[in-house]
Amino acid sequence: MEKTFTFDSDLTVNRLGYGTMQLTGDGVWGPVADPDNAVKVIETAIDHGVNFIDTADAYGPFYANLYLRDALKNRPDNHVMVATKVGNTRQGPDVWTPVGVPAYLRQQVEMNLFTLGLDHIDLLQLHRVDPNIPLADQIGVLKDMQDEGKIKHIGLSQVSVDQLKEATAIAPIVSVQNMYNLSNRQDEDVLDYADAHHIAFIPWFPLATGELIKDATLTNIAQKYNASPAQIALAWLLKRSDVILPIPGTKSSDHELQNIQAQDIDLSQADFDALKALAK
């Protein structure tokens, strides 16, 4: 199992990353209850080898970016690849509305640069495809900003193989971020396409927010490895494909350390296959 993934000659990251979405209020809306702790959790991740962090302008909105900016300032000697997203607007807790108007996407890229304190974005992902705007226009403005040096790489989120192919005809696509976990693998075809083309597959909802923990097979296998069910679920993702970059999120430094330890678990093929059977 490869523990790293290479995006280009300058960007090779440890495959187990961190996602900032939980560093917000209820419904991914507003600030987190303890901002200092939010920064500390990110610092803990960085201090223990996490160098791929996923965020989005829609998380808060922007609060997660601000916590990440502070953590990056506090760790200036650690190179961290930051991935962020644009294209989802927020009207309140748990409300997400895709908007792919090119002028809006350009604005949000600039806002991400400002709130993250960066001069360029390593990986800018289209958070959702707006069905009311041609995909060529949405990817086109990101390609323009890539040519301007503000974006290094472009990715997509929650797309089909056909959409991925269509976008690739407009600009190089280096990542796709779709829902994927032990119990929900409806986008297996997207993962297979990503695997075949060395495209990073970033599974969101990698632990199904605790739902997986209730599964007896997972619990029994976890006991064999003296690990938690969450650690086994992450270890399974890492073994499933070398292009998978899990980004589990948490508000707890202790939990973050447990997640990081999952990369050291080497599942047997028999246990991997037993867990594979859990899919819906």
Burial of 243 (0-12, 13-18, 19+ CB in 10 A): buried
What pLDDT is stored for residue 208 in this prediction? 73
Q: Degrees (nearest 5) of the Cα angle 14, 177, 131?
A: 160
In this prediction, residue 278 has a pLDDT band, given cuts at 50, 70 and 90, of: confident
What pLDDT is stored for residue 115 in this prediction? 98
Tell me the two tokens of residue 231: 């650690």
- Of 98-112, 192-206, 208-222, 253-267, which gets the smallest average pLDDT? 208-222
pLDDT tens figures, 224-238: 999 999 999 999 999
In this prediction, residue 213 has a pLDDT band, given cuts at 50, 70 and 90, of: low
pLDDT tens figures, 8-20: 999 999 999 999 9
Residues labelled catalytic: 59
What pLDDT is stored for residue 183 in this prediction? 85
Q: Name the percent of the chain lying above pLDDT 70.
A: 98
Residues 6 or more apart whose CB falls under 8 angstroms from that of 163 comprise 129, 135, 156
CB atoms within 10 A of CB 149: 9
Task: Check which CATH number belongs to the domain holding 37 and give it.
Answer: 3.20.20.100
**What does the mean pLDDT of the chain come to?**
96
Residue 228 is part of which domain span? Answer: 4-276
pLDDT of residue 209 exceeding 70: no
pLDDT tens figures, 116-141: 999 999 999 999 999 999 999 999 99
Number of structural domains, the chain? 1
What pLDDT is stored for residue 280 in this prediction? 60
- Output the pTM of the full model: 0.96
In this prediction, residue 1 has a pLDDT band, given cuts at 50, 70 and 90, of: confident
Q: Degrees (nearest 5) of the Cα angle 228, 231, 234?
A: 150
What pLDDT is stored for residue 212 in this prediction? 64
Given a contact cutoff of 8 angstroms between Cβ atoms, the answer to whether 262 and 212 are in contact is no
In this prediction, residue 277 has a pLDDT band, given cuts at 50, 70 and 90, of: confident
Is pLDDT larger for residue 262 or for residue 210? 262
pLDDT tens figures, 40-51: 999 999 999 999
